A = this chain, B = another copy of it.
Amino acid sequence: MDKGKLFQQFVRFTTSVHQVTNDMTKEIKIENITTVQYKILEFITVSQPVTLSEISECLHLSLPNSSRELKKLIQSQLCEKIIDPNDRRKFDIRLTEKGTALMNEVFQQLELKFQERINHLTESELEEMEEAIQILQTKFLDR
């Protein structure tokens, strides 16, 4: 296998993924939420409960800046802290009901766009696609 060629394909592939997800999320505008705040919300949604350090590390934000942005999200009542009884410096962060409702809406919109994008595919193509995602997830992404 020509690993150089595979790398080329990988670059093209990741570029495409970024482009497509960019296009899909582009129009989703939530009032009083900035891009970084949305990324934080998305991260919490997918990974909750999370700590502030995890947000900081995974999103490549400094702890002070993460703290600042989280504060705004908490003020908007989209998420909340749940103090860890075992280590009171730490706390888990979760979406509130309001935050959950918001993210459900967002994901519903995204799902619509996703469905549009796949609705020309046959049943067997969908299965191929699922398998392809599975392979990349296990062989390459989850490490």
The B-contacting residues of A in range 113-143, CB under 8 angstroms, are: 114-115, 117-118, 121, 123, 125-137, 139-143
**Nearest chain-B residue to A143 (Cβ)?**
B117
Contact with B along A50-88 (1 / 0, CB 8 A): 000000001010000000000000000000000000000
**Nearest chain-B residue to A42 (Cβ)?**
B15
A112 CB to closest chain B CB (Å) equals 10
Copies of this chain, count: 2
The residue from B4, B129, B141 contacting A16, defined by CB atoms under 8 A apart:
B141
Q: Is the CB of A135 within 8 A of B132?
A: yes
Enumerate chain B residues within 8 angstroms of A130, measured Cβ to Cβ. 1, 6, 9
Say whether A111 faces chain B, with CB atoms less than 8 Å apart.
yes
Say whether A36 faces chain B, with CB atoms less than 8 Å apart.
no
A132 and B21 alpha carbons, distance in the complex (Å): 18
Enumerate chain B residues within 8 angstroms of A125, measured Cβ to Cβ. 139
Q: Is the CB of B7 within 8 A of A111?
A: yes
